[in-house]
Amino acid sequence: MRRPDILWRLGSFAVAAALVGLWQLTADLKLVSPVFLPGPDKAWTALIRGFSSGDLMAKLLGTLAHMLYGWLCASFVGIALGAAIGASKTMRDYVAPSLEWLRPLPVSAIIPIAIALFGLTQGMALFVIAFGAMWPMLLATIHGFAVVEPRLYEVARTLHMSRLAVIVKIALPSASPDILAGMRLSLTVALILSVVCEILAGLDGLGHWVLLSARAFRSADLFAGVILLGIVGYVTATAMAFAERRLLRWRGVGH
Amino acid sequence: MPHWLKPLVLPVALIVLFEAWARATDLQSDSLAPPSAIGRALIEALGSGELWIATRDTLASTLAGLLIGSAIGLMLGIALGLSSGFNRLMDVTIEAIRPIPSIALLPIALIAFGFGYRMEIVIVAFACIWPMLILSRAAIGGIEPRLLEVARLLRLTSADRVRKIVIPAALPRIFVAFRLAAGIALIVAVTCEIAINPIGLGASIMAAQQALRADLMLAYLIWIGAIGFALNAGLLLAQNSLFGRAALAEIAR
C-alpha cells in the first residue's frame, strides 16, 4: 500500500469510529429511547456476556451450520443440474425458459409449502435454504455452459472426448467464473433464509436469539445478535471472494 | 416443433402428469393439491376481496420501501461517485453495515414500529439502499471523463453538474440498478410477511398453510410468482423502451 492509501484507510476508520461515537452520544443523551437503541457499550457488553455464558456461541454455530449445510447441498445440486441442463442444446431449449420464469419468484414464498411438507423441523430449514440458494448457482451454471467458446467443443469432438470428459475438462473450467459468482450470491441468500427459518421454526440459531431478545425487549442482546449476523455476512463473503480469486488465478495467465 | 412452443412443453407436461397422478391416487394431502383444485382456489380467491387487499398491502410496502431506499442509495451513490475522497473515507463504514442481512433487522423494526406497514417499509428500504448505492456509484465512476471536463469548462455549479451531466449520463445504468432493487424489494417484503408481519400476501400464504388449505396455499404461491414476474417484466419493458441498447452494456457484465 502506498502512503496516501494508508492515510485514507486510517481516515476511513476514523469516520467509522466517529459514527460509533455519535451512536454512543445519541444513546447517552437518550435522544432515542434506550428500549430501541442501546449504546455501543451496552451492545458490546451483551456480546461479551453472551459469549462467556456460552449461549451466543451455540447460536452462532447453529446459524453457521444451517447456512453452510444448505449452501453445500445447493452447490452440489445446483451445479450438477446446471451442468446437465447446460451441456445439451435440447435441454437448454426446453428446460431453461421454465427456470427463467421461476427466477423472479420470491424464494421465501416456498417456506409455507416446506412447512406443510416437513413440519417445523431442521429438515424444513435445510430444504428451504438449499432450494433458495440453489437458484443463483443453477442459472449461473447454465449461462456459463451456454457461452463456452464453440471452438473448444470442436476440439473435443476431434479428440473424440466422451460427454463426461467434455463437461469436466472443458465446460466446467470455462464456466467457473459464472459458477463462482453464483456461489457468492447464494451465500447471502443462504444466510438470510437461515435467519428466517430460525425465526419461524424456533431452531437454535441467531435468528431465534434476536427474535427472543426482541420479544423480551432486551435490546442490547438484540443488537449483539444483529452485529454478529453482520460479522457472519462479512466474513463469509470475504472468504468466498478470497477463494474466488485463488481459484480463478489460472485464468489470468496465457490470455 | 416451432421455436416458441419448446419452452411450454415442460410446464404443460408437468401439470398434466401431476393432475393425472393426483386423480389416480385420489390425493388427500395437507401439502399438495392437484392443479385443477389450485386453479379453482385461485379463481375463487381472485373473486373474493382478500387476495386483492393482501396484494395491495404487499405492493404498497414494496413500492414505498423501494422508493425510499433507492432515493437514499442514489443520493449516497452520486456523492460517493463524484468525490473519491468522500468515497475512501466512507469505505469502512459502508463495508461494515452492508453485510448485515436485512431480515436480521426485523426484530429491531418490530420493537421500534410494531406490526404493520412501517416496519416492513423500513426493512425493504434498508435492503434497497445497497444495490442502488453500489451500482450508481459504479455508474458515475464509469462516466466519460470528458463530459465532466466539459462541465468544468462551462463552470456549471455542482447542482447543475449533477442535474445536467451526471444523471443523464449514468441514467441507463441507474435504471438497471433500480430494476434489481425492485426485485429485492418484493422478496424482502414477502419474507417479512412470512416471518413476522401479519399483513400482505406473505401472511395470507402462511394463513392458508395453517388452515391446511393446500390448494389455496399453492394458489397464493402462483399468484406471488405472477406478481414477481409481472414486476420484473414491466421494468424490463420500461428499460428497453426508455434506454434501448444503452442499458444492455451493464447486463453483459
Please report where in the chains the cell 462551462 appears, as a residue. B154
| Contact between chains at B89 and A110 (C-beta distance less than 8 A) | no
Helices (H), B48-154: 49-82, 84-97, 106-113, 117-141, 145-153
Nearest by CB to residue B225, choosing from A105, A192, A207, is A105
Please, what sign has the CA dihedral across residues B164, B167, B168, B169?
A: positive
Nearest by CB to residue A214, choosing from B93, B107, B229, is B107
Chain B residues close to A71, C-beta within 8 Å = none
The ipTM estimated for the assembled molecules is 0.85
**B3 lies in some domain:** no
Q: For residue B159, give the CATH number of its domain.
A: 1.10.3720.10
Residue of B nearest to A197 (CA): B195
| Contact between chains at B187 and A214 (C-beta distance less than 8 A) | no
Q: If you count them, how many residues does chain A have?
A: 255
Q: What is the pLDDT of residues B36-53, one digit of tens each?
A: 889 999 999 898 888 999
Q: What is the pLDDT of residue A255?
A: 47
The full 3-state SS of chain A, as one line of letters, equals CCHHHHHHHHHHHHHHHHHHHHHHHHHHCCCCCCCCCCCHHHHHHHHHHHHHHCHHHHHHHHHHHHHHHHHHHHHHHHHHHHHHHHCCHHHHHHHHHHHHHHCCCCHHHHHHHHHHHHCCCHHHHHHHHHHHHHHHHHHHHHHHHHCCCHHHHHHHHHCCCCHHHHHHHHHHHHHHHHHHHHHHHHHHHHHHHHHHHHHHHCCCCHHHHHHHHHHCCCHHHHHHHHHHHHHHHHHHHHHHHHHHHHHCHHHHCCC
Q: CB pairs below 8 Å between A and B: how many?
A: 160
Instruction: Tell me the backbone φ, ψ of residue A244, rounded to 5 degrees.
Output: -60, -45
| Contact between chains at A191 and B107 (C-beta distance less than 8 A) | no
**B193 lies in some domain:** yes
Chain B residues close to A133, C-beta within 8 Å = none
Chosen for mutation from B84, B106, B134, B235 (greatest number of chain A CBs closer than 10 Å) is B106
From residue A123, alpha-carbon distances to A110, A127, B64, B170, B242 in Å are: 14, 6, 35, 46, 46
Residue of A nearest to B232 (CA): A104
Chain B residues close to A132, C-beta within 8 Å = none
CATH class for domain A38-252? mainly alpha
Q: Are A199 and B104 in contact (CB under 8 A)?
A: no
Going by C-alpha positions, the residue among B73, B57, B58 that lies closest to residue B189 is B58
Where do the structural domains in chain A lie, given as residue ranges? 1-31, 38-252
Chain B residues close to A196, C-beta within 8 Å = 103, 191, 194-195
What is the grid cell recorded at B2?
416451432
pLDDT in tens, chain A (255 residues): 567 888 888 888 899 999 999 989 888 888 787 778 888 888 999 999 988 887 899 999 999 999 999 999 999 999 999 998 888 888 888 888 888 888 888 888 999 999 999 988 999 999 999 999 999 999 999 989 888 888 888 888 888 888 888 888 888 888 888 999 999 989 999 999 999 999 988 888 999 999 999 888 888 999 999 999 999 999 999 999 899 888 888 776 544
Domains identified in chain B, total number: 1
Q: Measure the CA–CA gap between A242 and B72, rounded to whole angstroms.
A: 30
| Contact between chains at A112 and B232 (C-beta distance less than 8 A) | no
Q: What is the pLDDT of residue B118?
A: 93
Nearest by CB to residue A199, choosing from B10, B85, B195, is B195
Q: What is the pLDDT of residue A225?
A: 92
Alpha carbon of B210: minimum distance to chain A alpha carbons (Å): 8
The list of chain B residues with pLDDT below 70 reads 1, 245-253
Please report where in the chains the cell 421465501 appears, as a residue. A108
Quote the Cα angle for A239-A244-A248, to 5°: 155
**B31 lies in some domain:** no
Give the structural domain span for B233: 36-252
Q: What is the pLDDT of residues A87-99, one digit of tens each?
A: 888 888 888 888 8
Q: What is the pLDDT of residue A235?
A: 92
Q: What is the pLDDT of residues A42-84, one digit of tens each?
A: 899 999 998 888 789 999 999 999 999 999 999 999 999 999 8
Q: What is the pLDDT of residues A29-53, one digit of tens each?
A: 887 877 788 888 889 999 999 888 8
Instruction: Tell me the backbone φ, ψ of residue A87, rounded to 5 degrees.
Output: -75, -15
